[in-house]
Structure 1
Amino acid sequence: MQKGETGVQDGFGRESNERDWQQLIGRRLEHVQNNDDTISSEVGTLIHRGAHQNLTPGLFQPPGKSFKGVVGSHEADENTPIVRYPNTKVIPSRVRKRVVFKNGNVNLSKEHVYKRSQRYLQDIFTTLVDIQWRWNLLVFAMGFVVSWLIFAVVWWLIMFAHGDFDETNAKNETWKPCVTEVTTFTAAFLFSLETQHTIGYGNRYISEECPEAVFILCLQSVVGVMIQCFMVGIVFAKLSRPKKRSQTLLFSRHAVICLRDSKLCLLFRVGDMRKSHIIGTNISAQIIKRKVTAEGEVIPYYHTILDVRFDAGNDSILFIWPATIVHEINERSPLYTLSAEDIMKDRFEIVVVLEGTIESTGQSIQARSSYLPSEILWGHRFEQLVRFQRDSSEYLVDYSKFNNTYEVETPLCSARDFYEYQKLIQQPQILILNNSHTEQQHQHALATLGMAQAAAQHQHQQQQQQQQQANGQPGLFHSASSPLHSPLGAGVKNMNNRQNTTQPANNNNNNSNNNNNISV
């Protein structure tokens, strides 16, 4: 697709502006809105035709030549290119399949687990900690109420068996009940509550007439303490979970791919909004994608570890301010053979995990996030957000720029093709030329190679050759340090061999000494 000043020309030779593309995409979405698979394929085709084909045909993507998409937030000067986020405007959220959501929750549900309820009850403490707060508070309240009711029934049965509710015994002044001032079940419930929590208002109290009542009094006191410890422990564990601390750890909305030290790198940013630091911080990343083994086995969700580092170190982070994590796209990287267009077409998910220890509590913490191909910006770089504030003599972190990026020149080809291209233009070529060639042939060969440095080398070697010829010494220049030979080398060698065979045998050694091997 070729993008002009007034419109866009698609692959069929038709011109349309941006509004036409949006209307066409909208009609396709309305037509296939009841089928998720059709939506994905149709929208992908439209984006491929209407957006992804405007890649710069050259090797580099200059600033300002970005994918067609939705303009994101970016605070910079007027000359800074606008950040663009592809695919968000047209692809519905329900079509995006991801393992880990942006907030760190895992998109996973389990079914047909053998004896699932029994296994949960065997680990009742963890089960009660993991359930939602409304169920947790319900269990907390019901635990106490049920215990009061159970012991109220026990007390009522003891008093009923002893005859405390008999009117004749109540009129006898010498008769002593098990519990005084308890004549109804409601009074028994209140006595159970007062006993378990040691309230003791004074009107209702136990006597020494019933040994079984003394035993129940001791038992209820112990059970009440156990219930309190258990319920308070559950609530405390739920409140102090490090999961809530992970909500204050930030991951950048996008990952970017750009050049860093002449190498293609995948970058994403992590930050911590609290003043208390995460100590012993480690970062890791994995890519999940489909793989077919050599035996033909299809692994739909194959995990591959990505080598990530912080600056020039390893995966350990000095987490005092937002850090940019770098994955170098080299031969060991799964992204090594993917170009800018291939990444937009491929299906994978990069899951990043940050682990550390909370400084204030000493608990371990883990925060997660993920990036889909549509969330990777090719040819972008993160904007700096840390600066020194002179008036307060402290470093200031502007989190409004945490997700901001700007465009930079970046190769659109894959890392493999880019590194091969670099080798071709950096490594010297070997060119063996015969001394009998004319100067025009030398210049033509060097011009064919297109290397100015080679021309300078040839001029220097020619001066040395003239000095040696003036001194009566044979000229010999040889440098075979590079394995890449010029295409002209084989033809020149054959020409030299033919010239050597036509001369007499007694002059063969002299002619071979006069041949010059020129390295370019």
Structure 2
Amino acid sequence: MKKKRRTSANIVHFVKLNGRLNIEGLGKWYNYWNDPYHLLLTIPWAGFLTLICVGYLLANALFALAYVAGGDGIENARPGNFADAFFFSVQTMASIGYGAMYPKTTYAHLLVTAESLVGLFGVTMATGLMFARFARPNARVIFSQVAVIAPFEGVPTLMFRTANQRRNLILEASLRVSLARDEITAEGDFIRRIYDLTLLRSQNPSFSLSWTALHPIDDRSPLYGVTPLSLMEDETTILVTLTGLDETVGQSIYAHHTFASRDILWNMRFVDILVWKPNGDRYIDYSHFHDVKPLQ
């Protein structure tokens, strides 16, 4: 029996980058060639606009060639002249209708009918795609570059910070934190196991400024008894997902972040970003959002 050859489409590569185990090409626009809708939603704006312009010019050029092939079918246009046929095609597809040039044969009328339909569908699709790209929810949320493990209320606790970069509210904000690490089952099989990490507070009714997430490391925690070395050996990753409702646009938004084992600092504490003024007023200094300091 002939062995089936494996192609690149059947192989998914894992790449270790900056201590993180990543799926190569995950979420990149160039992976969607077999899914045109997702491709047009994820391709950079410059590429999207270029595709629209190239498609528009190409469609008009093809219809212009068809008009030229039909001979003298356009009134006031030079027979066989590609430029006249091209600009007549542009006027037809855009429904401009100056009146200087118009079809005068049945062949040209049929082409105009077909091009009108193509132009209608093209404008509809381009408008829909443009709206879909603008309407995609985009959360302006940042996460601390590191997570720390330090005592909180006498219990070792995993902590990290997140902040809303927009000056609005994220209503009913919710944090979900998971831990993924390599394990060997009792049967000797390798698996990538995921555990949920319980937070002291996973809900925030109105997330506007900053939020410190706290996971106590007690005997029920998957992090109980681990060491910095074991975290690295098990390729441990902390997965964070934040969801909520943007009050400005009324849409659900989400943000995600990962902490690799090298991003988890032991016996460190975040620098306080809440500053008190002499008159009793308070403000938040985001310039120290990612800063940490050793335990006293």
* TM-score calculated relative to the size of structure 2: 0.80
Cα 1:145–1:289 change in 2 (3 A) is same
Larger radius of gyration: 1
Once the two structures are superposed, residues 419-439 of structure 1 have per-residue CA deviations (whole angstroms, 9 ceiling, x without a partner) of xxxxxxxxxxxxxxxxxxxxx
Letter in 2 for 1:322: S
- Asked whether the 8 Å contact 1:98–1:107 carries over to 2, the reply is no
Cα 1:341–1:383 change in 2 (3 A) is same
Once the two structures are superposed, residues 208-253 of structure 1 have per-residue CA deviations (whole angstroms, 9 ceiling, x without a partner) of xx334333323322321221221233234334433xx34x311112
Task: Give 5+ residue unaligned stretches, structure 1.
Answer: 1-93, 100-105, 111-115, 165-176, 410-520
Give 1:343 shift: 4.9
1:306 aligns with 2:197: yes
Large movers: runs of 4+ above 4 Å = 339-346, 387-391
Task: Work out the number of aligned pairs and report it.
Answer: 277
Letter in 1 for 2:196: I
Q: Which of the two has greater strand per residue?
A: 2
Once the two structures are superposed, residues 155-196 of structure 1 have per-residue CA deviations (whole angstroms, 9 ceiling, x without a partner) of 2233x2xxx3xxxxxxxxxxxx65233422221111111121
Give the structure 1 partner of residue 265 of structure 2. Answer: 377
Q: 1:188 aligns with which of 74, 85, 99?
A: 85
- Asked whether the 8 Å contact 1:280–1:356 carries over to 2, the reply is yes
1:257 aligns with 2:146: no
Cα 1:338–1:181 change in 2 (3 A) is closer
Q: 1:151 aligns with which of 58, 63, 82?
A: 63
Q: Distance in 2 between matches of 1:390 and 1:191?
A: 74
Q: Distance in 1 between matches of 2:115 and 2:64?
A: 10
Q: Distance in 2 between matches of 1:401 and 1:379?
A: 18
Q: 1:108 aligns with which of 24, 30, 34?
A: 24
Give the structure 1 partner of residue 287 of structure 2. Answer: 400
Q: Distance in 2 between matches of 1:137 and 1:271?
A: 33
Equivalent position SS for 2:196: strand
Cα 1:384–1:256 change in 2 (3 A) is same
* TM-score calculated relative to the size of structure 1: 0.48
Matches within 5 A, 1:48-197: 96-99=18-21, 107-109=23-25, 120-121=33-34, 123-158=35-70, 160=71, 164=72, 178-183=74-79, 184-197=81-94
Letter in 2 for 1:180: N
Once the two structures are superposed, residues 27-81 of structure 1 have per-residue CA deviations (whole angstroms, 9 ceiling, x without a partner) of xxxxxxxxxxxxxxxxxxxxxxxxxxxxxxxxxxxxxxxxxxxxxxxxxxxxxxx
Q: Distance in 1 between matches of 2:248 and 2:190?
A: 46
RMSD value, Cα: 3.0
Q: Distance in 1 between matches of 2:108 and 2:147?
A: 70
Equivalent position SS for 2:75: coil
- Asked whether the 8 Å contact 1:270–1:322 carries over to 2, the reply is yes
Give 1:125 shift: 1.8
Q: Distance in 2 between matches of 1:192 and 1:267?
A: 63
Once the two structures are superposed, residues 390-409 of structure 1 have per-residue CA deviations (whole angstroms, 9 ceiling, x without a partner) of 87x97522101212233336
Letter in 2 for 1:402: F
Matches within 5 A, 1:282-431: 282-299=174-191, 301-310=192-201, 314-316=202-204, 318-339=206-227, 343=231, 347-387=235-275, 395-408=282-295
Cα 1:315–1:296 change in 2 (3 A) is farther
Q: Distance in 2 between matches of 1:232 and 1:221?
A: 16
Give 1:268 shift: 0.6
Task: Give 5+ residue unaligned stretches, structure 2.
Answer: 1-15
Q: Distance in 2 between matches of 1:108 and 1:271?
A: 28
Letter in 2 for 1:278: I
1:223 aligns with 2:112: no
Give the structure 1 partner of residue 102 of structure 2. Answer: 205
Q: Distance in 2 between matches of 1:142 and 1:375?
A: 45
Q: Distance in 1 between matches of 2:275 and 2:135?
A: 34
- Asked whether the 8 Å contact 2:180–2:194 carries over to 1, the reply is yes
- Asked whether the 8 Å contact 1:284–1:315 carries over to 2, the reply is no
